[in-house]
Amino acid sequence: MSLLKVPVTLAVSYALKKCLTPPNPPAPKEERFKTNFLERGWYLQLFPYVGNLEFLFGVWEAVAILAWNYRSTQLGPIGRLVLALPLFVGTRPYQARLSSTTLIGAFLILAGTWLRLATFKQLGKMFRYEASIQKDHQLITSGPYAYVRHPGYTALVTTFAGWVLWHGGSGSWFKASGVWRGLVGKLVVANYFIAIPCGTLYLVLGRMRDEDEALRKRFGAQWDEWAKRVPYSVIPGRCMTPPNRPAPKEERFATSSFEPSWYWNLPGPAGNVQFLFSILEAATILAWNYPSSPLSKAILSHLVFEGGRPERLHLSTLSAVGGLLMLVGSVLRLITFRYLGKFFKFEASIQKDHKLITSGPYAYVRHPSYTGGILAFLGWVLWHYGEGSWFRESGLWDAPLGKVLILGYFVGILCGILTFALLRMKNEDEALRKQFGVEWDEWARRRCMTSPTRPALKEECFATTSFEPSWFWSLPGPAGSMQLIFGILEAATILALNYPTTQLSQIVLSLFVFEGGHPERLYMSPTSAVGGLLLLVGSTIRLTAFRSLGKFFKFEASIQKDHKLITVGPYAYVRHPSYTGGTLVVVGWALWHYGEGSWFRESGLLVWGTPLGKVLILIYFVGILCGGLTFALSRMKKEDQALRRQFGAEWDELMSIIKAPTALVVGYAFKRCISPPNPPAPKNEHIGVKIFGQKWCIATASLAGNIQFLFGVLEAATIVAWNCPSSALSKMLLVSLVPDAGKPDQLRLSPVGAIGGSLILTGMALRLATYRYLGTFFKYEASIQKDHRLVTSGPYAFVRHPSYTALMISHMGWILWNCGEGSWFRELRLWNTPVGAVIFVSYFLGVLCAQLHFLLRRMKSEDEALRQRFKSQWEGWAQAVPYSVVPGVY
């Protein structure tokens, strides 16, 4: 840890030097204006010296640490000589280390320096240490100046806060060197702390108003407009502070009984109270950790109430989640302030020049500011009520004042605002619909399971499958809403279970926990986590597809009059990314709701004895899940044909070009999937598995992988040669690789080929995961090593033989990839040639069928060998993971 501090120390010291060094020469006297008494030349001239002094401290510390750590090596005499110098006498380099406090300080210093250098770059020659307005001055409103008006001071405050933590924390050089034990050291440290950080902060706070006034005089309305957009001086906004002035009465519209003007004056003070609580909590923690000073004793006597336990103040898991929610909610809310600009008002209002904002967070939800507010408030509850919080451990909520504050906050702010937001959204939507009409209607349809545009006209639609009736495509919207309701019910059940004493909790548990339910088992299991991840990834892909296609995306199969072939975004990788996203969402839904610890499973809803459970499951699986997947697979071919008819050669060229890199990736994936990761096991470690053709199967596996990779290279070469036919190399390749009856123009990525390639990639990912988890224990030969361990984590927590699962998936993908329409085998008529027929038959009979037969027979022998070796450990694992290859099936 001591050596690790050397590069961090040098980086921090250099950063401080850069941060405090003026980027430009001093401003001429005639361009300066007065601010406060610290605006003297001598004071500002101190900054470069302080930066150089900091860099000297850093080098000093790094040299001492290196000398101490290498004192016993060949460089030892040099190290001992360095430590013997008067500069280092009395130091304790072994105590210099990176603690959590110094790491936070280093991060703040580096972040502050980065921001400071960004302001230097943005302002250019106009950045002066002296308060001045140049003759050719320009008002800079971009970069960091688009968030706060004085980002240079934000950087300084951040840097100095980091400086205090860096030099005052455990393991710092100031403490390890003993520099402040002597009289000179105390004077230096005291002067540094008082003259530089405190003086600079005073200078900054006193100088900002004068600078604002000078810029307002110089730039007039331009400055006023910028100040409206960026109302914050140093800290970029606050979540509960209005970013604009109140809306005039004539622009407002009625919403709910919570809309009186006095009510919207509360969030600002509430935010200030929260900030005050944070300062009090930080002061309590510092006072508890440094209890010897009179100030600390005074703080503890005033801020720790009767029954308080300040020693328990810590960042618990619940508080960390709450803090994260508050940060995420605040960031989201500030982003909405920025996107709406002057149109954001705390009062419900439509301005005369109002515009409908549909970008940024408004491209995903219609009311992201309420999303941010709800996240921030939920985080507030967790932050203040979790174990280790100040409210809890200081004894505040046991005191009368604490009870008044908590009840006032919850009833007056939290519950009131949440109720208000839910009631107000409908009125805002209605007002925006009246103002913007069709534009609002089109925007309001953009959600993952809801068509982002209006239904296609009948004359633009074309027939696909029997699942195409209009009523079928009205189902996904309600299905998505039902999923949201399920999420709310599950969250309510978990909260009620964790706070069971309230009457509301008892009502929730009685309503949402059915007979035979086990709400205490509600938790995030690995299966549910994978399902949730698939839901998020699928939704993201689907929403990206909505954005890329724009108005051309319809739930009905249709070609519009002004249709364009979209080949960017997710359409640069697969032809039907919306179906990819939808499939991931549906599969994720099944895992999320059917995994151990899910609400469906643990609430008793999935018990087939409940009529509601039967109805919900049958409707979803038959009507949405199976119907949607069947429809998507059968519809893709029709859509491809319609697009080919519409765009002709443009479509064919696109499909052909896309397949070239895909063929290389799929070929390499199959090669990796069936190549042994380790050398063969010695014969004395083999287990007695007598299966016909076992040695032959193992020997041919790598050969099959290399052949498939070779096929991928040849297919990619054929596609590139066909699309670039003028070169001599292309002509030679086409003559060599394309038989007389071949159709290289038909080589493309068909739906069947895409599914096959996806299966091969999925199989490879799973297979490589098993290689990683088993490590050296993975052998192609059935064997038990001397130091063998039973691996039960990773994919082995779901099935006992995930590597065989991966092989089966890859082999199924191989069949679809090589036999589907547009494949190299099919379109070049390779299986009509003697060589192609031999390869194909050999693969099917000799590799595919033989290996599958070999794997199915081998599993029992492997299980038996592991049972004999690990006994009760294996029995426990087999009981927890009863499935061999397919979880839940076999």
pLDDT tens for residues 147-190?
Answer: 788 888 888 888 887 887 787 777 777 766 666 566 666 666 66
Contact partners, residue 476, CB within 8 Å, separation at least 6:
449, 450, 555, 624, 628
d(Cα 231, Cα 244) in Å, to the nearest integer? 8
| Burial environment of residue 789 by CB neighbours within 10 A (0 to 12, 13 to 18, 19 or more) | exposed
Residue 535's pLDDT is 84
- Is the distance from CB of 813 to CB of 669 less than 8 angstroms? no
Say how many Å lie between the first and final Cα of the chain, rounded: 50
Residue 291's pLDDT is 79
Range of lowest pLDDT (7-16, 231-240, 398-407): 231-240
Residue 571's pLDDT is 77
d(Cα 877, Cα 887) in Å, to the nearest integer? 14
Cα 874–877–882 angle (5° rounding)?
115
Residue 297's pLDDT is 78
| Burial environment of residue 342 by CB neighbours within 10 A (0 to 12, 13 to 18, 19 or more) | middle
Range of lowest pLDDT (30-39, 228-237, 505-514): 30-39
Q: Which two tokens stand for residue 274?
A: 């929260």
The three-class DSSP label of residue 336 is: helix
As a whole-number percent, the residues of the chain with pLDDT over 90 amount to 0
Is residue 91 scored above 70 in pLDDT? no
Residue ranges of alpha helices (H) inside 250-348 are: 267-289, 294-303, 317-340
Average pLDDT over residues 859-881: 83
Question: What is the chain's mean pLDDT, rounded?
Answer: 73
pTM: predicted TM-score of the whole model, two decimal places: 0.38
d(Cα 344, Cα 436) in Å, to the nearest integer? 17
Q: What is the pLDDT of residues 24-56, one digit of tens each?
A: 787 777 777 666 544 555 555 666 777 777 787
Range of lowest pLDDT (240-249, 491-500, 517-526, 811-820): 240-249
Q: What is the dihedral of CA 721, 727, 729, 730, to 10 degrees?
A: 20
Question: How many residues are present in the chain?
Answer: 890
Average pLDDT over residues 768-775: 83
Which residue type does 306 have? E
Q: For the stretch 830-844, what's the b/e string if a residue is b when 16 or more beta carbons lie within 10 angstroms of its beta carbon?
A: bbeeeeeeebbeebe
Q: Give which of 758, 724, 747, 428 is closest to 577, Cα–Cα.
A: 758
Residue with tokens 């019910």: 489
Q: In angstroms, what CA-CA distances link 875 with 467, 613, 790, 866, 872?
A: 47, 34, 11, 10, 5
Is residue 806 scored above 80 in pLDDT? yes
Between 89 and 168, residue with greater pLDDT: 168
Is residue 203 scored above 70 in pLDDT? no
Is residue 109 scored above 80 in pLDDT? yes
Contact partners, residue 809, CB within 8 Å, separation at least 6:
759, 760, 762, 763, 766
Q: Give which of 393, 419, 268 is closest to 319, Cα–Cα.
A: 393
Q: Which two tokens stand for residue 46?
A: 């101190």
Q: What is the pLDDT of residues 668-718, one digit of tens each?
A: 777 777 777 778 777 777 776 555 555 666 666 667 777 778 887 887 787
d(Cα 153, Cα 594) in Å, to the nearest integer? 53
H or E segment to which residue 68 belongs: helix 41-69
Range of lowest pLDDT (408-417, 548-557, 795-804): 408-417
Q: What is the pLDDT of residues 393-402, one digit of tens each?
A: 777 767 666 6
- Is the distance from CB of 12 to CB of 179 less than 8 angstroms? no
Residue 688's pLDDT is 63
Is residue 621 scored above 80 in pLDDT? no
Q: What is the pLDDT of residues 627-661, one digit of tens each?
A: 665 666 667 767 777 777 777 666 655 555 666 77
Residue 229's pLDDT is 75
Range of lowest pLDDT (183-187, 256-260, 294-298): 256-260
Residue 240's pLDDT is 47
Q: For the stretch 303-339, what's the b/e string if a residue is b when 16 or more beta carbons lie within 10 angstroms of its beta carbon?
A: bbeeebebeebeebebbeebbebbeebbebbbbbbbb
Q: What is the pLDDT of residues 306-334, one digit of tens each?
A: 777 878 777 777 777 778 888 888 888 88
Q: In angstroms, what CA-CA distances link 587 with 583, 626, 697?
A: 6, 11, 34
Is residue 864 scored above 60 in pLDDT? yes
The DSSP secondary structure of 86-152, one letter per residue, reads GGGTT--GGG----HHHHHHHHHHHHHHHHHHHHHHHHGGG--SS-B--TT-----SGGGGT-S-HH
Residue 461's pLDDT is 60
Residue 242's pLDDT is 55
- Is the distance from CB of 444 to CB of 429 less than 8 angstroms? yes
Residue 244's pLDDT is 57
pLDDT band at 252 (very low <50, low <70, confident <90, very high): low
Report all structural domains of the chain as residue ranges with CATH numbers, in order of start: 5-229 (1.20.120), 249-444 (no CATH), 462-643 (no CATH), 648-880 (1.20.120)
Residue 42's pLDDT is 52
Average pLDDT over residues 454-474: 54
